[in-house]
């Protein structure tokens, strides 16, 4: 059995973008990836992040906000470190426990203003952007023979 790749999604608070990315990558490629998420200054998972993932049938009941420091020290080594916000990219210039570093900046849905429905729409948009980015990335990994071709791939 081939060893799984590993990924760590990093954000400032580990409350929305990185949590959604963790759930989505796990949903699309759990058989190929061991996936985690963390924050530089972790807080709580935003309830709208939970809600918009649930709308897509993704339950993140076991997920919780985690600190990047919990992954420091070599206990975990990741194939990919993926920062999903500007602040995390700037505040964490080095993370020696990953082979590749990717930068996927997404709008912070937690800072959305307006009515509840307007704020939920921002969370939905960011969720869908993250999902599309992950799907494109997985196709790229397949094309590079890093992942096996999925049965539905052309």
Whether residue 152 is contained in a domain is answered as no
- Domain assignment of residue 133, yes or no: yes
Residue 10: which of 36, 33, 31 has the closest Cα? 36
Give residue-wise pLDDT tens across range 77-108.
899 999 999 888 888 767 778 889 999 999 99
* 153 occurs within a structural domain: no
Q: What is the pLDDT of residue 92?
A: 75
77: part of which helix (H) or strand (E)? Answer: none
- pLDDT bucket at 116, cuts 50 / 70 / 90: very high
Helices (H) and strands (E) in the chain, counts: 4, 4
User: Of 58-62, 85-89, 125-129, where does mean pLDDT reach its minimum?
Assistant: 85-89
Domain for residue 154, yes or no? no
Secondary structure (3-state) at 37:
strand
Q: Residue 152: which pLDDT band, with cuts at 50, 70 and 90? A: low
Tell me which of 151 and 61 has the higher pLDDT.
Answer: 61
For position 89, which CATH number holds?
A: 3.40.50.2300
Q: What pTM value is reported for the model?
A: 0.92
Question: Is 37 within the bounds of a domain?
Answer: yes
Q: Which of 41-55, 85-99, 132-146 has the lowest mean pLDDT?
A: 85-99
Q: Got the DSSP string for 33-45?
A: EEEEEEESS----
Domain that holds residue 126: 5-143
The pLDDT value recorded for residue 74 is: 67
Please indicate, yes or no, if residue 38 is contained in any of the structural domains. yes
Q: Is the pLDDT of residue 154 over 50?
A: no
Average confidence score pLDDT of the chain: 91
The per-residue pLDDT for 94 is 72
Q: Domain for residue 149, yes or no? A: no
Domain assignment present for residue 51? The answer is yes
Looking at the structure of the chain, the number of domains it has is 1
Query: Residues 2-39: pLDDT tens digits?
Result: 689 999 999 999 999 999 999 999 999 999 999 999 99
Which residues have a catalytic role annotated? 11, 85, 92
Q: How many CA atoms lie within 13 A of 98 on its CB side?
A: 23
């Amino acid at each position: 059995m081939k060893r799984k790749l590993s990924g760590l999604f990093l954000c400032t608070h580990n409350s929305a973008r990185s949590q959604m990315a963790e759930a989505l990558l796990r949903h699309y490629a759990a058989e190929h990836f061991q996936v985690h998420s963390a924050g530089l200054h972790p807080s709580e998972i935003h309830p709208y992040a939970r809600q918009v993932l649930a709308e897509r049938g993704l339950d993140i009941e076991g997920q919780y906000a985690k600190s990047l420091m919990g992954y420091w020290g070599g206990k975990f080594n990741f194939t990919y470190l993926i920062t999903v916000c500007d602040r995390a990219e700037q505040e964490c210039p080095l993370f020696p426990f990953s082979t590749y570093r990717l930068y996927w900046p997404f709008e912070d849905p937690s800072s959305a203003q307006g009515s509840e429905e307007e704020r939920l729409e921002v969370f939905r948009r960011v969720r869908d952007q993250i999902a599309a980015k992950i799907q494109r990335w997985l196709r790229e990994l397949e094309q590079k023979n890093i992942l096996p071709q999925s049965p539905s791939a052309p």
